[in-house]
Chains A and B, each alone.
Chain A
């Protein structure tokens, strides 16, 4: 049939839409977390999808489309948005480690009490947003998007050990941020029983 090339092209578009568009919310959410501005996140997501569509022939159907899209997005972010507003990594690792261990050793932390804690979504989101960018991204990819260490390291273009280390520190920082809420509401819940 004379129209077959047209229909073939349409199939490519349909395939792209079927495999890539379902991840738009995840991509937008991480883009927003990186750029911190909705209009920049919008642009970043659009650019990501456009570049992904242009290079869709390089993508192997059946492989991890979500990781592929994240990698494209992070690459655009680093090259285009990151230059202007690189955040200082203002966390002192030694200080953070010290605080973390002091917090655990002080006897205040009770994992059983924390089970009763009612930490709110806004508190988690805010705590996550206070993390330095590289830490925040490690947590978003592994804990929120449920990617493997290997996938996250590939997206961030860093060695596996670096990813592991960032994640370890990010979780400790998050713990320090969330612990006060947990203890407060945990004690409260326990006392109401």
Chain B
């Protein structure tokens, strides 16, 4: 249609945005050849669109925005992990039902205890005036069965020295394996390993100053990732050797350096993620890598992520010196 009696409106914009069908386009282009008003409007719209697209300049991102977003995502990961561990998924939905069940159980317990107490008072009122036999006066001959039923929280009531030995707490709390509701305290475990190396409870399987030989050792020992043993010669730290260690339930590559003044630096690498680390770290950032720094009774422990692997340096040297070593050796994967 080249109808001069009607002017096109939004179709002109559709032509400028190349959204018209072939037929619609032909029709409108014919009209534009004849209608000066519509042609001017089309040219004006097309020019405006073109100049906006070409000349509009987006603002630069604020320096810290990217970093802040990554930190927020990291925090979100930690929160969701904590929620999974501490709050069962069904809790919000079933809260009311659970409250009813608890109330019901409490009511049943109250009723039962009332009747039990009433029954005892009714049949043997002398119990009120007669003190119960203390456990320690029980004869040793019938103690075994009775003591098995005693609550374990009161071991001091038992006169048997053998039984007391059985409830002795584990010697080292740090060796406790995590249950499904508790996370391993990796910084404490790493610090413990450092002290055990220092006191020669942990010994090196391979003694070498050769970085490549050390890496080959870990490969031969089937460490499930490519171990990058640092060359710290420039920092005056010499490789002493290493071993395959265990952190929590996984294998770790454990290698040791000696620096000036007999300073010992232990590095461990294992498959993991920084979100497994507990709260309380001081967060440092260098070259886009985040470092999680913990202090453990005179030791500094610095964790960082390299791909699927966590690297951790531990030493009793000055904290800042250790952090700078970590900065120097960490690479972004």
Contact = CB atoms under 8 A, between A and B. Distances in A.
Interface of A: 1-3, 6-7, 9-10, 13, 16-17, 21, 24-26, 28-29, 32, 38, 42, 45-46, 49-50, 53-54, 100-101, 104-105, 109, 111, 114, 117, 119-125, 128, 139, 142-144, 146, 149, 164-165, 167-168, 171-172, 174-175, 178-179, 182
The 5 closest A-B pairs by CB, nearest first: A111-B43, A124-B55, A29-B58, A121-B57, A104-B40
A101 B43 CA distance: 13
B266 to A, nearest CB: 22
Contacts of B56: 121, 124-125, 128, 143-144
Given A7-B308, A125-B56, A24 B48 contact: no
Contact of B73 (A13, A124, A128, A167): A13
A121 B55 contact: yes
B44 A45 contact: no
Given A2-B249, A53-B76, A104-B40, A144 B52 contact: yes
Given A3-B250, A124-B57, A144-B53, 11 more contacts: A6-B272, A7-B271, A25-B60, A29-B59, A111-B47, A121-B57, A124-B56, A128-B56, A174-B48, A178-B51, A179-B44
Interface string B238-267: 000000000001100000000000000000
Nearest to B44: A175
Contacts of A7: 271, 273, 308
B55 A28 contact: no
B76 A119 contact: no
Contact of B13 (A28, A105, A144, A168): A168
Given A49-B69, A143-B52, A175-B44, A3 B58 contact: no
Contacts of B41: 100-101, 104
B44 A124 contact: no
B308 A24 contact: no
B37 A143 contact: no
Contacts of B272: 3, 6
Contact of B51 (A1, A2, A119, A146): A119
Nearest to B43: A111
A142 B52 CA distance: 10
A143 B49 CA distance: 6
A24 B66 contact: yes
Contacts of B112: none
B72 interface: yes
A10 B307 CA distance: 9
Interface of B: 9-10, 13-14, 17, 19, 37, 40-41, 43-45, 47-49, 51-53, 55-62, 65-66, 68-70, 72-73, 76-77, 224, 249-250, 271-273, 275-276, 308
A45 B276 contact: no
A183 B40 CA distance: 15
Majority secondary structure, A binding face: helix
Contacts of A123: 55
Given A21-B69, A49-B73, A175-B44, A143 B224 contact: no
B250 A175 contact: no
Contacts of B275: 6, 9
A50 B65 contact: no
A171 to B, nearest CB: 5
A167 B49 CA distance: 10
B63 to A, nearest CB: 11
Contacts of B52: 124, 128, 139, 143-144, 174
B69 A46 contact: yes
Given A49-B69, A111-B44, A125-B56, A28 B76 contact: no
27 contacts: A2-B250, A3-B271, A6-B273, A7-B271, A7-B273, A17-B73, A24-B61, A28-B59, A42-B68, A45-B69, A46-B65, A46-B68, A49-B69, A49-B73, A53-B73, A101-B37, A109-B44, A117-B51, A119-B55, A143-B52, A143-B53, A144-B56, A144-B58, A164-B14, A168-B10, A175-B47, A178-B48
A37 B40 CA distance: 37
A1 B251 CA distance: 11
A24 B76 contact: no
A10 B49 contact: no
A42 B62 CA distance: 8
Contact of B45 (A114, A121, A128, A171): A171
Contacts of B44: 100, 104, 109, 111, 172, 175, 179
A24 B37 contact: no
